[in-house]
Amino acid sequence: KDTEVSVLGLGAMGRELARALLDAGHRVTVWNRTAARAEALAERGAVVAGSPGEAVGASPLTVVCLLDEDTVLQALDGVGAAGRAVVNLTNGTPEQARRVAELVRGQGGDYLDGGIMAVPPMIGGPHAFLYYSGSERVFREHRPLLDTFGAAHYKGEDPGAAALWDVALLSAMYGMFGGLLHAFALARSAGIDAGEVAGDVGAWLTAMGEAGPEYARRIDTGDHTTDVVSNLGMQAAGIRNVLATAEEQGVSTALLGPLADFMRLRLAGGDHAAEDLTGLVQLLAPGAETV
């Protein structure tokens, strides 16, 4: 019997997506390479498909959440998506998203890409949000169902756009995680449990995160001047202390060293000591010598 929505991939995330759809009262078909992972969902009423093609054929809309885009290309190859809508929430690059779009459209299907800004337990909760791009028709038509997962932000017809937004946020996250790991390693090198500093580290990151809009303004206007807050000359001296402390404690500087290198490079490249850290963005831009 036909269902409203199919879910391909029942890993940690796919399972949660399928569960949210069932909780919202949708009729759901699921497929997973390892069939045993579908059992708990089947007990809750999901129909289990024997192949990706069977799942795509069962519903007008298929949500895909597999390990990576190569897996998606493999799973969707020859599924016969004609007249069907595919929403791919697998993480990947913009180019990879465009390739999956081509595959689906080549079969006569409609394609919407997506990026999930949530970990599985957040799905359906107040803090989950998702980026979408590609077919606006699919986005509009299935919006109520997509809202089941979290707040939906549509970023235009280019199927690669959602991945760009997603990866931009992940980039900021991984930079932060790198700093967190370094901070905890440093604490432990002094016999302090990570748990003892975690609260203060969190409060500090929250306070520093508020610099985002001001950083963005400097970057968008190209005016990196700062005469009041934290100039690059001071920050370069500060990060030298961060690295020197790590060395004193025997902690690796591998994660934070490159940031100090970029500060040195910016200072060596001209009269930049009075500007904000934001000037470093020019060393990261396409075409910069450091790329």
The residue ranges that bind ligand NDP (CB under 6 A) are 9-14, 32-34, 37, 65-68, 71, 75, 90-91, 116, 119-120
The dihedral over CA atoms of 15, 16, 17, 18, expressed in degrees to the nearest 10, equals 50
Q: How far is the CB of 90 from ligand NDP (least distance, A)?
A: 4
Q: Which is nearer to ligand NDP, 11 or 178 (CB)?
A: 11
CA-closest candidate to residue 275, choices 266, 284, 283: 266
* Shortest-Cβ-distance residue relative to ligand NDP: 11
The packing angle between helices 94-106 and 69-76, to 10°, is: 0
> Quick check: 17 and 149 in contact, CB under 8 A?
yes
Q: Which is nearer to ligand NDP, 51 or 252 (CB)?
A: 51
Q: How far is the CB of 108 from ligand NDP (least distance, A)?
A: 23
CA-closest candidate to residue 224, choices 282, 269, 264, 276: 276
| CA atoms 58, 135, 170, 260: torsion sign | positive
Sheet with 110-117: strands ordered across: 47-48, 28-31, 5-8, 61-64, 85-88, 110-117, 129-134, 151-154
Q: How far is the CB of 65 from ligand NDP (least distance, A)?
A: 5
Q: Which is nearer to ligand NDP, 120 or 178 (CB)?
A: 120
Q: Which residues contact 12 (CB under 8 A, 6 or more apart)?
A: 120
Q: Which is nearer to ligand NDP, 27 or 33 (CB)?
A: 33
Q: How far is the CB of 180 from ligand NDP (least distance, A)?
A: 17
Q: Which is nearer to ligand NDP, 32 or 278 (CB)?
A: 32
Q: How far is the CB of 92 from ligand NDP (least distance, A)?
A: 7
Q: Which is nearer to ligand NDP, 127 or 140 (CB)?
A: 127
Which long-range contacts (C-beta less than 8 Å, at least 24 apart) are formed by 278-287? 278/215, 278/218, 278/219, 278/224, 279/224, 279/232, 281/219
In the block, tokens 């991939």 appear at 9
Q: How far is the CB of 208 from ligand NDP (least distance, A)?
A: 24
Q: How far is the CB of 192 from ligand NDP (least distance, A)?
A: 29
> Quick check: 61 and 28 in contact, CB under 8 A?
no
Q: Which is nearer to ligand NDP, 75 or 112 (CB)?
A: 75
